[in-house]
Amino acid sequence: MSEEVEPALDVRGLVKTFSGVLALRGADLSIRPGEIHGLIGQNGSGKSTLIKVLSGFHAPDRGEVRVHGDVLHLPVRPADAARYRLSFMHQELSLAGGMSVLENLRLGRFKTGLGWKIHWKEESARVSQMLAEFGIDVDPHIAVDKLPQAERALVGFLRAYHQLDGERGLLVLDEPTSSLPRPAVSRLFDAMRVVRRHGTAVLFVSHRIEEVMEITDRVTVLRDGASVGTLVTRDSSEDRLVALLLGAELGRMYPTRVKASDRAVMTVNHIRGSVVRDFSLELHRGEIVGATGLVGMGHDEIPYLMYGAQPLLGGRMLIGGEDLGVPTPGRMRGHGVCLVPADRARSSGVPRATLMENVTLPALGQFFHRGYVHHGRERSFVQALLGRFDVRPAQPAALLGTLSGGNQQKTLLAKWLQLQPRVLLLHEPTQGVDIGARRDIFAVLREIAASGTAIFIASAEYEDLANICHAVAVLRSGRLVTWLRGEDLTEQRIAEQCFRPVGESGGAGPGHDEEEE
């Protein structure tokens, strides 16, 4: 019988506390050489803390980490990570945007000659070969910040892999797909398979179950800071993984649609923006309408045009039959239109402000009394609102940036839904949100649609759109390709229409006679 191979990574009993709160409570993780191993858990489960311990950002309270059988001294120092063949690709990518692809990939590894002169021709040939092996068709001399999103992610991946210097080490990918469209995810997965063929182990950290099921060999589930199971992916199922994630069966992910009214709330006629060339829509009470497309096709510009957050270059919009003229955010709010942008950190919320400050910002006037803010009443109001939206922790004094992605999004929904809008505009409402929070958000959207609010969602999440929307518009090159509704409104049909060349155009606008309840 052959001797068992040492794990590429063996984590035992990691414990980490923050201000007396356990973030990791004896977490275990074992990764075999040459496997793609998934690490999945809800927001707040301890995934990020575990990765930050491995990268040296946090020192654990106790626990042991072995790499290829050798004990890794904690806290990890950068020099130790390199010596033990550990490399990391973080969500932020850590690329130097003003430097070229070549410089980003070879920085610190340039081959030099007499007088430390860099052999640029050899370096260019080496980087071209590296890019070709991974199917990355970019000029090595182009600045990274000039690259499309997908290519930047692939360069970030290649840089992390290149830091292993060809050794069979461990490549840690921390939520690498969180902001990538589906075609870019597929390209990243192809690159991961190339790395696996070379014998390098890959730790793939994600909250997307379908991606974990597609790319990994095995997957470990974290819940409340502890490892609750490791599964062989091909022998498992999404339902089993969800049960481990939540500690119970998920139940119904998508609520039933409400029947939309025939009463139009907002009409959009032939609007144009920097990408959108011609888009029209009649949005009705209780209706949820989606828009989607590939990256750069314009669907994600529509909610910002409708809100006046980006310049409207043509067309007109009406609410209740009233022509709005040139829309501005202030004017649109006055007409009962609210927008929740995709970028929670820069556009939607203020990470360094408290939950109370974020939530009451658009409605602070109601807490003024004789020229002063009544903080006690404000705090009580926010506490109740956070409880209603199941924000955890429901602490008005907590900073928004300390919450998980799902709880941040629920807080920001509460911020705008307290105004009881006539129209709610959403851009990627479930981006970076775990499965439990997604279900909660869908339930909230169903509830407000039932109360009569019209909802418009721009998203690249085809499955979500197919299950919660009454109709979905597919855009290509800034123009409508088709409307999908009824039996045609499926995840597969949305994907087909997104990738289909321009030429086949669908109906005029969303209808609702097929809906339920």
Unique residue bearing structure tokens 């007109």? 316
pLDDT at 512 over 70: no
Domains 9-246 and 252-336+421-517 are alike in CATH topology: yes
| CA dist., res. 43 & res. 440, Å (int) | 13
Most confident listed range (75-84, 145-154, 384-393):
384-393
Task: State whether CATH 3.30.70.360 applies to domain 252-336+421-517.
Answer: no
End-to-end CA distance of the chain: give it in Å, rounded: 63
Percentage of residues in the chain having pLDDT higher than 70: 93
- Contact between 179 and 206 under an 8 Å Cβ cutoff? The reply is no
Exposure string of 223-252, with b = 16+ CB inside 10 Å and e = fewer, is bebbbeebbebeebeeeebbebbbeeeeee
Q: Which residue has the higher pLDDT, 291 or 56?
A: 291
- 4-8, 392-396, 509-513: least confidently modelled range: 509-513
For residue 516, what pLDDT is reported? 45
Banded pLDDT at 515 (limits 50, 70, 90)? very low
- Contact between 146 and 108 under an 8 Å Cβ cutoff? The reply is no
Residues 6+ apart with CB under 8 A from 321: none
| Per-residue tokens: 193 | 């398979």
| CA dist., res. 291 & res. 459, Å (int) | 6
Determine the average pLDDT of the residues in 288-312.
94
**SS3 assignment for 53-64:** HHCCCCCCCEEE
For residue 510, what pLDDT is reported? 64
How many Cβ atoms from other residues are within 10 Å of residue 320's Cβ? 12
For residue 96, what pLDDT is reported? 82
pLDDT at 508 over 60: no
For residue 252, what pLDDT is reported? 76
Q: Which fold does the domain 9-246 belong to in CATH?
A: Rossmann fold (3.40.50)
How many Cβ atoms from other residues are within 10 Å of residue 92's Cβ? 8
For residue 1, what pLDDT is reported? 41
For residue 248, what pLDDT is reported? 63
Banded pLDDT at 509 (limits 50, 70, 90)? low
Banded pLDDT at 501 (limits 50, 70, 90)? low
Unique residue bearing structure tokens 């969602």? 457
- 76-80, 239-243, 312-316, 360-364: least confidently modelled range: 76-80
Q: At what angle do helices 149-162 and 182-197 cross, to 10 degrees?
A: 20
The mean pLDDT of the chain is 89
Q: Which residue has the higher pLDDT, 155 or 291?
A: 291
Residues 6+ apart with CB under 8 A from 96: 103, 104, 107, 144
| Per-residue tokens: 52 | 């930050």
- Contact between 172 and 181 under an 8 Å Cβ cutoff? The reply is no
Amino acid at 313: L
pLDDT at 142 over 60: yes
As a whole number of Å, the CA-based R_g of the chain is 25
Most confident listed range (81-90, 180-189, 464-473):
464-473
Q: Which residue has the higher pLDDT, 97 or 401?
A: 401
For residue 63, what pLDDT is reported? 95
- 81-95, 121-135, 262-276: least confidently modelled range: 81-95
For residue 373, what pLDDT is reported? 84
Domains in the chain: boundaries:
9-246, 252-336+421-517, 346-420
| CA dist., res. 397 & res. 425, Å (int) | 28
For residue 168, what pLDDT is reported? 78
pLDDT tens per residue, range 161-215: 988 876 678 999 988 887 677 778 888 999 999 999 999 999 999 888 889 999 9
Q: Which of 159, 123, 130 is nearest to 144 (CA)?
A: 159
For residue 514, what pLDDT is reported? 42
| CA dist., res. 350 & res. 336, Å (int) | 22
| Region class of 234: left (phi > 0), else alpha (psi between -120 and 50), else beta | alpha
